[in-house]
Amino acid sequence: KAGVTQTPRYLIKTRGQQVTLSCSPISGHRSVSWYQQTPGQGLQFLFEYFSETQRNKGNFPGRFSGRQFSNSRSEMNVSTLELGDSALYLCASRYNGAYEQFFGPGTRLTVL
Amino acid sequence: AQTVTQSQPEMSVQEAETVTLSCTYDTSESDYYLFWYKQPPSRQMILVIRQEAYKQQNATENRFSVNFQKAAKSFSLKISDSQLGDAAMYFCAYRSATSGSRLTFGEGTQLTVNP
Is pLDDT above 80 for A1?
no
Is pLDDT above 90 for A73?
yes
* pLDDT one-digit tens code per residue, A21-71: 999 999 999 999 999 999 989 999 999 999 999 999 999 999 999 999 999
Cβ-contact B109, B6 below 8 angstroms: yes
Using CA atoms of A100, A9, B90, A81 in order, give the dihedral in degrees to the nearest 10.
Answer: -100
* pLDDT one-digit tens code per residue, B75-95: 999 999 999 999 999 999 999
Q: Which amino acid appears at position B81 of this protein? A: D
* pLDDT one-digit tens code per residue, B26-38: 999 999 999 999 9
Which of A43, A68, A102, A108 would you mutate first to test chain B, the one with the most B CBs within 10 A?
A43
Q: How far apart are CA A2 and CA B101, in angstroms?
A: 20
Count A/B contacts: CB-CB distance under 8 Å: 56
Chain A residue nearest residue B105, CA to CA = A43
Q: Which amino acid appears at position B68 of this protein? A: F
The tally of CA atoms less than 13 A away on the side-chain side of residue A43 is 31
Q: How far apart are CA B72 and CA B23, in angstroms?
A: 11
> B54 contacts in A (CB within 8 Å)?
none
pLDDT of residue B99: 81
Using CA atoms of B94, B96, B97, B101 in order, give the dihedral in degrees to the nearest 10.
Answer: -80
Q: Which amino acid appears at position A87 of this protein? A: A
B52 touching A (Cβ < 8 Å): yes
B102 touching A (Cβ < 8 Å): yes
User: How many residues comprise chain B?
Assistant: 115
Q: Which amino acid appears at position B106 of this protein? A: G
Residue-averaged pLDDT of chain A: 96
Put residue B22 in one of left, alpha, beta given phi > 0 → left and psi -120 to 50 → alpha. Answer: beta
| Alpha carbon separation from B113 to A84, B9, B60 (Å, rounded) | 32, 15, 21
Is pLDDT above 90 for A96?
no
Of all residues in chain B, what percent carry a pLDDT higher than 70?
100
Is pLDDT above 80 for A78?
yes
Place B105 in a pLDDT band, splitting at 50, 70 and 90.
Answer: very high
Beta-carbon separation of A50 and B47 below 8 A: no
pLDDT of residue A107: 98
Q: Which amino acid appears at position A30 of this protein? A: R
Which of B101, B103, B109 would you mutate first to test chain A, the one with the most A CBs within 10 A?
B101
Q: Which amino acid appears at position B46 of this protein? A: I
Beta-carbon separation of A100 and B107 below 8 A: no
Provide φ and ψ at A25, rounded to 5°. -75, 170
B71-77, Cβ contacts within 8 angstroms, sequence gap of 24 or more = B72/B24, B73/B24, B73/B25, B73/B26, B73/B27, B74/B22, B74/B23, B74/B24, B75/B23, B75/B24, B75/B25, B75/B34, B75/B36, B75/B51, B76/B20, B76/B21, B76/B22, B76/B23, B77/B20, B77/B21, B77/B23, B77/B36, B77/B48, B77/B49
pLDDT of residue A2: 81
Average pLDDT for residues B65-79, to the nearest whole number? 97
* pLDDT one-digit tens code per residue, B41-55: 999 999 999 999 999
